Amino acid sequence: MTETTDTEIDEESSGKEIETPTIAVTGAAGYIGSRVIVEFQEAYPEWELIAIDNQYRGQVDSIGDVDIEHVDVRNRDRLEDALAGADVVCHLAAISGVDDCDKNPDLAYEVNVTGTNNVAWFCRKTGAALAFPFSMAVLGDPEEFPITADQPRDPLNWYGRTKLLGERSIESFADGAFPAHLFLKSNLYGEHVVDGTEVGKPTVINFFVNRALAGETLTVYEPGTQARNFVHVKDVARAYVRSAERLVEQLEHGETGTETYEIASEEDMSVMEVGEIVREVAREERGIEVDVELVENPRSDETMVEKFSVDISSTKGRLGWKTTESVAISVRELLEEHRG
């Protein structure tokens, strides 16, 4: 965990008394955002929730008794109207993933950079706290392991560059104005259910499970030994709840500036190992026989390190957050959920 700035302000003159926090989530209809809303509803049913999304990749229209307002973070006026009254903003709206950003570079810039600036500017004007994920993609090829958030930034792709620009702008806007948490977030996996709707994303593990269910070969990009750190979407969503708890305390104490947290698990394995897990579980649980095959890697700029451990000790200590899910168990659950 790296503290870029942590300006202590006189609590009596600048602290904010918050009786019932109002939490806003951008990208609330998406893979992570919808789960974040669910976690807040379960942990703090008395808190007020604001949910917005432009439905570019939205998967739900409402979550429990919370309706998702159709707002685009690129429209600053509408955004600020929608966020009015928020004590904490969890900014999850983004064009995520290497492929989507490469195919839509202008859109990626407008959403990931301009949209993030709009959210951060709102926080600077109102004093609302901010939580923002900026992805492992900002690091490029990590220089040492375990990975920590204070390592040099050297993104290899446009996605990583846009998230780096978002990180830097929040650092600048937050200084002396509001507290912000920046999440160096690892590779997600898993599905979850929102009001009976299965919410997922074609992450590596989800992709393998779906191919196994279809009886199709699990294709692994060469060399196959490249490692990733995998963290479940439910664990990530719970990190935002822990973050909001701390941000509310920081608002009450008049603290400003950014804190950076590593959001990852202790499961770092090669892509080939993941493929083998899915193959074995598919055979044991469903009697499905599939092959795992190495194929040519179309991503010449992909990180190819053979280990990807992440130091999450500071996150555990400062936020009181820990992972509860595992790859093997989640693969079994995914296969069981799709039985029949």
Is 2-14+21-186+233-263's fold the same as 192-228+266-310+324-337's? no
Q: Can you give the pLDDT at residue 118?
A: 98
Q: Which CATH number fits domain 192-228+266-310+324-337: 3.40.50.800, 3.40.50.720, 3.90.25.10, 3.30.460.80?
A: 3.90.25.10
pTM for the full predicted model: 0.92
Q: Can you give the residue ranges of every domain in the chain?
A: 2-14+21-186+233-263, 192-228+266-310+324-337
Q: Can you give the pLDDT at residue 336?
A: 83
CA pair distance 91, 264, nearest whole angstrom: 18
* Per-residue pLDDT of the chain in tens (340 residues, 90 and over written 9): 445 444 443 433 468 899 999 999 999 999 999 999 999 999 999 999 999 999 998 999 999 999 999 999 999 999 999 999 999 999 999 999 899 999 999 999 999 999 999 999 999 999 999 999 998 999 998 889 999 999 999 999 999 999 999 999 999 999 999 999 999 999 999 999 999 999 999 899 999 999 999 999 999 999 999 999 999 999 999 999 999 999 999 999 999 999 999 999 999 999 999 999 999 999 999 999 999 999 998 876 677 888 899 999 999 999 999 999 999 999 998 888 776 5
CA pair distance 265, 310, nearest whole angstrom: 7
Residue 112 sits at the vertex; the CA angle it makes with 111 and 113, to the nearest 5 degrees, is: 95
CATH fold, domain 2-14+21-186+233-263, is: Rossmann fold (3.40.50)
For CA atoms 71, 77, 79, 83, the dihedral sign is negative
